[in-house]
């Protein structure tokens, strides 16, 4: 398949490289990042999109997605699919889908879970919103770049699934870190805490698979000086998107709002920027109730 790939950063580059390694003809574009091996460099986003059956984008935010879509939709062939793998606001995803339909093309919002490690290994999970036919056209590419693709519904459903998932993730990580910090101050050994909680009603992904305590549970960023992983500023972004969506939908999400404020403080006012989102544990460990 002929593929255009726009956005060749830490996530996009390995995804594009995996597609090229699988035998697809991939033309890429990025304002600053180099093309990975096997990917032909285009001089513009529109050139990368020209003649492609599927154009994949991996971009920082919804405003940039809208701007790129405005450049590439006129260059795309009739019937081509714009597959956006960025994590953006639901409204931007729906607007791009409407613009694509008006131009005689289709659009999918297909944010991913799995981070840079999953992108390199080809084990990402895709949460996809958009038309059935467009999903079927892109599905062979999802199977190269990832291990699972879930068609969640119409335009915007993929972004909705991603932000709901990551709101749970952010809230749960905070609760896990709070519990370890409390255990410390109660004199409970962290390993004993893990042994109990990981096999009891408090178990969670943040405890069992991504434990924020160094030397406890499976290897995680906590065992590597809290190097991301999943950076705290990216969690802040996703929690912000979740609250933006909650306001638009008139949904009551007090725990999500509290998590957003804690990560905002951690990233902007403390030392959280550039650290894994599980670095909330040393943050809580050094604080009291005051």
State the catalytic residues.
162
Q: How far apart are CA 100 and CA 6, in angstroms?
A: 16
Provide the token pair at 182.
């409390």
- Dihedral sign for Cα 71, 74, 76, 80, please: positive
Q: How far apart are CA 88 and CA 59, in angstroms?
A: 9
Beta-bridge mates of residue 127: 150
Task: Give the long-range contacts of residues 150-154, CB within 8 A, separation 24 or more.
Answer: 150/125, 150/126, 152/127, 152/128, 153/129, 154/129, 154/130
Q: How far apart are CA 127 and CA 112, in angstroms?
A: 6
User: Which parts of the chain are beta strand (E)?
Assistant: 2-6, 25-29, 40-41, 54-57, 81-84, 106-109, 112-113, 124-129, 146-153
Provide the token pair at 77.
């062939």
The answer to whether the CB of 84 falls within 8 A of the CB of 110 is: yes
């Amino acid at each position: 398949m002929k593929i255009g790939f726009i956005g060749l950063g830490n996530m996009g580059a390995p995804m594009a490289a995996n597609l090229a390694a699988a035998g697809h003809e991939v033309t890429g574009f990025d304002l600053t990042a180099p093309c990975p091996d096997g990917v032909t460099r285009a001089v513009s986003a529109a050139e990368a999109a020209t003649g492609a059956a599927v154009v994949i984008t991996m971009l920082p935010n919804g405003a940039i997605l809208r701007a790129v879509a405005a450049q590439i939709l006129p260059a795309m062939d009739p019937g081509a699919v714009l597959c956006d793998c960025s994590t953006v606001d639901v409204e931007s995803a729906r607007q791009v889908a409407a613009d694509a339909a008006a131009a005689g093309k289709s659009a999918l919002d297909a944010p991913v879970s799995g981070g840079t490690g999953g992108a390199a290994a080809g084990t990402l999970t895709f949460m996809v919103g958009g038309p059935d036919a467009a999903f079927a056209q892109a599905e062979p590419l999802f199977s190269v770049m990832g291990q699972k693709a879930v068609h969640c519904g119409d335009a915007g459903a993929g972004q909705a699934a991603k932000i709901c998932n990551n709101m749970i993730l952010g809230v749960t990580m905070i609760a896990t870190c709070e519990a370890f910090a409390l255990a410390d101050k109660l004199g409970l050994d962290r390993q004993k805490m893990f042994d109990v909680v990981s096999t009891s009603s408090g178990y969670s992904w943040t405890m069992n698979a991504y434990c924020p305590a160094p030397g406890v549970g499976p290897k995680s960023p906590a065992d590597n000086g809290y190097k991301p992983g999943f950076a705290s500023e990216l969690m802040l972004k996703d929690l912000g998107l979740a609250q933006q969506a909650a306001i638009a939908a008139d949904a009551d999400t007090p725990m999500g709002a509290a998590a957003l404020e804690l990560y905002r403080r951690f990233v902007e006012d403390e030392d959280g920027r550039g650290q894994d989102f599980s670095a909330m544990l040393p943050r809580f460990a050094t604080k009291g109730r005051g």
